Each structure stands twice: as structure tokens, then as C-alpha cells.
């Protein structure tokens, strides 16, 4: 377990105490009603006022300390330089080398400034917006465009980071969300009628109804289309099954990760507007892991594709928890990723489009 086998644990996790609305209503604040769900505070860089916990469970000081003698301790977070490793008593490995920590990024939806801010906060990029995370591994969970102001800027940044991360020995990868299908569909099929249970529809009309930004479409270039069209729908990383949407519809495209990803690629390469539309509709479904059947649904995906926990975007946490329906008029309270479905599922869409927040989290969450 070199070199990430020993590090400071973040502060013991705070149980979610409920939104202000829930607290006022006197409801059981720690229980959401969705399969024992709870919030997990972000693994933000440790603030000075926070108490840090030694890995043996001893609480020490108010200020992060590096005075431990044993075992050697490495500061959380990338990048780890060779000096860091040597200082911690490890010999850097030339090749293939240890993999870096794993991060996931929730739905961005064109909110480029918020994305840059969160990546900076996690030390994944530098002040100039370049990859600074060494061998770290970053997965975006899809939905780059629509609703927010600069979808193409987001895609450009992720493509740039993908190249820079690869050069640094890490990676930055992305899943295909339903908005990628919608955006590509609006570009490729425009106003062409498609079969819809709700009557005649078109990709362009649906895209505009779902926050499509004309200036994004006008700036969409061939290299964006090639990159977007090849994004995988599912990935498995360190036991985490990464999906965009909280739906079991992936099962309709294959019984293995490769089958599903190949099926989606083939569909985008070869099929017509109706098949694209059908895929868009399936990957726009949500809330499969919520409620009494949620753990079973999550377990079905995990049993088929592997992993012990599903990590998804797509459904903003305030909708998932029902907080957004409380009509409080207040900004939704999203302290971090949302763990639910008997802890088989983690929601990562912090609802940046509804004044929530864009979430970047290091996995595993505990």
C-alpha cells in the first residue's frame, strides 16, 4: 500500500442535521426517509479550526499537525512529489508507479466558474487552470452543457485536463450523460421529428426545453463531437460503479460494462434519430435508488456490472431528498455528496443549476 496507505483521516463525519426547513418542522432530521440516507460532508481541505483525528483514533490539536512519528503520514491530496514521498520514508517508484487518489465530479451544466473554483479547492488544478494533480484520477459524471452559461468552455477545460493528466501519469475521464445525447442530438438531428410517447418531438425542441444554449451549439466543433461521442456510459473504479443517471436502464444495453459502452457507441455512430431519442429517454429516467426498492435496484446494477457502491449524478440532491419541494424559497442546503439506498448509492449532483453547489469528492467516502 504505497504510498497512499497512511494519511490523515478527515474530521469524523457529521451526520446530516436536516435542512433549516426540516429543523423548523421538527422532523427527524437525521433520517431522510430514503433508505437510511445521510449526507456526507465534503473532504474539503482541513480548516484550522477543525480537529484532526489521528488514525489510531486519538484526537489531537486544533491545527493540522505533522508531528506524528509512526506511521509515516502523507498529507491528503495531490500532488505528491518525489520529495513528499522521500520525506515520508518511501522510495518513489519509477514505473508503472502507484495510482493517485480517485475523485468524481458531479453535473457541471455549463457552470465553468464554479467548476474551476471547486477543482482549485481540491488542488486538482493550479491558478492558471492547468492540471496539478499528478497521478490523481478524476471522473466527470456527465452533463457538461445546458442550463449554465458556458457549456463549451466546460468541455474545452475537461478535454484539456484529460490531456494534461495523461501527460502527468494520472487521468481525467468523463461519462456520457443524457445531456450529451440531447446536445449531440440537437446538433445532428435538429428539428427532425422523432417518435415520442408524448406526440411529435424533436431533439432541438427538447434541448431548448431542457436548458439548451444556442451559443453552445454555435461553438460546437468537430473535435468536441468526436470526444463526446466516444464517452463511456459506465465505468468501474476502485469498487465504485460510476453512472450518470440513477436508473437501471443501463441494463437494457448490456450485461457487462463493455457491452453497454459498445452499444451506446454503436448507437451514436450508426443509428437514427428514433434510436437516439429512445436512448435519451432511457438515460433521463431517475430516482431508481430512492424509496423502498432503491437498495434492490442499486444491488441489481452492482450485481451485473460489479462494484460495491453506485456513484451517480443526474438527479440534483435537493430533488432526491425532497428538499427542493419544501417551497421554502431558501437556497438548498447541500453539504456534500448524498449517501443513500442502504449506503449502496452516492448522489453527486449538488444542484448547481438551482443554486446548490457543484460537487467534487474524493472516493471512497466513508
**Which residues of this chain interact with Mn ion, rule CB under 5 A?**
143, 177-178, 314
* CB nearer to Mn ion: pick between 273 and 348: 348
* CB nearer to Mn ion: pick between 43 and 173: 173
Question: What does residue 299 show for φ and ψ, rounded to 5 degrees?
Answer: -65, -35
* DSSP structural state of residue 286: -
Cβ 144 to Mn ion shortest distance, Å: 10
3-state secondary structure (DSSP) of residue 202: strand
What is the Cα–Cα distance from 163 to 165, expressed in whole angstroms? 6
* CB nearer to Mn ion: pick between 161 and 233: 233
At 329, list the grid cell.
Answer: 424559497
Q: Which residue, judged by CB position, is nearest to Mn ion in the bound state?
A: 314
3-state secondary structure (DSSP) of residue 328: coil
Cβ 255 to Mn ion shortest distance, Å: 23
3-state secondary structure (DSSP) of residue 314: coil
Cβ 245 to Mn ion shortest distance, Å: 6
Query: Is 293 within 8 Å of 211 (Cβ atoms)?
Result: no
Cβ 283 to Mn ion shortest distance, Å: 8
> Treating both helix axes as pointing N-terminal to C-terminal, what angle do 178-189 and 273-282 enclose, rounded to 10 degrees?
160
What is the Cα–Cα distance from 310 to 303, expressed in whole angstroms? 11
* CB nearer to Mn ion: pick between 3 and 110: 110
* CB nearer to Mn ion: pick between 74 and 233: 233
Query: Is 100 within 8 Å of 136 (Cβ atoms)?
Result: yes
What is the Cα–Cα distance from 342 to 345, expressed in whole angstroms? 8
Cβ 314 to Mn ion shortest distance, Å: 4
What is the Cα–Cα distance from 231 to 355, expressed in whole angstroms? 27
* CB nearer to Mn ion: pick between 284 and 321: 284
Cβ 95 to Mn ion shortest distance, Å: 38
Amino acid at each position: 500500500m504505497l504510498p497512499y496507505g497512511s494519511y490523515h483521516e478527515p474530521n469524523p463525519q457529521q451526520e446530516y442535521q436536516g435542512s433549516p426547513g426540516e429543523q423548523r418542522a421538527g422532523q427527524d432530521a437525521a433520517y431522510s426517509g430514503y433508505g437510511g440516507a445521510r449526507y456526507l460532508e465534503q473532504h474539503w481541505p482541513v480548516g484550522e479550526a477543525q480537529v484532526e483525528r489521528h488514525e489510531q483514533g486519538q484526537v489531537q490539536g486544533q491545527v493540522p499537525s505533522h508531528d506524528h512519528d509512526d506511521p509515516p503520514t502523507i498529507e491528503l491530496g495531490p500532488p505528491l512529489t518525489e520529495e513528499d514521498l522521500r520525506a515520508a520514508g518511501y522510495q518513489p517508484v519509477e514505473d508503472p508507479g502507484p495510482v493517485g487518489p480517485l475523485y468524481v465530479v458531479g453535473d457541471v451544466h455549463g457552470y465553468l466558474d464554479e467548476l474551476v473554483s471547486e477543482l482549485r479547492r481540491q488542488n486538482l488544478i493550479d491558478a492558471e487552470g492547468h492540471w496539478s494533480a499528478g497521478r490523481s484520477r478524476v471522473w466527470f459524471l456527465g452533463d457538461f452543457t445546458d442550463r449554465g452559461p458556458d457549456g463549451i468552455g466546460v468541455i474545452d477545460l475537461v478535454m484539456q485536463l484529460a490531456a494534461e493528466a495523461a501527460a502527468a501519469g494520472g487521468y481525467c475521464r468523463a461519462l456520457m450523460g443524457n445531456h450529451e445525447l440531447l446536445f449531440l442530438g440537437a446538433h445532428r438531428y435538429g428539428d427532425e421529428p422523432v417518435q415520442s410517447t408524448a406526440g411529435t418531438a424533436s431533439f432541438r425542441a427538447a434541448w431548448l426545453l431542457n436548458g439548451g444554449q444556442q451559443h453552445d451549439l454555435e461553438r460546437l466543433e468537430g473535435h468536441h463531437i468526436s470526444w463526446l461521442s466516444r464517452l463511456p456510459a459506465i465505468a468501474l473504479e476502485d469498487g465504485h460503479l460510476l453512472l450518470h443517471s440513477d436508473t437501471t436502464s443501463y441494463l437494457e444495453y448490456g450485461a457487462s460494462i463493455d457491452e453497454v459502452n459498445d452499444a451506446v457507441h454503436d448507437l451514436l455512430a450508426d443509428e437514427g434519430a428514433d434510436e437516439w431519442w429512445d436512448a435519451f429517454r432511457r438515460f433521463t429516467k431517475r430516482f431508481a435508488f430512492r424509496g423502498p426498492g432503491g437498495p434492490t435496484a442499486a444491488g441489481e446494477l452492482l450485481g451485473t456490472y460489479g462494484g460495491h457502491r453506485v456513484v451517480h449524478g443526474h438527479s440534483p440532491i435537493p430533488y432526491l431528498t425532497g428538499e427542493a419541494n419544501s417551497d421554502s424559497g431558501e437556497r438548498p442546503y447541500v453539504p456534500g455528496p448524498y449517501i443513500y439506498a442502504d449506503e449502496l448509492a452516492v448522489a453527486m449532483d449538488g444542484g448547481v443549476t438551482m443554486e446548490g453547489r457543484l460537487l467534487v469528492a474524493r472516493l471512497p467516502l466513508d
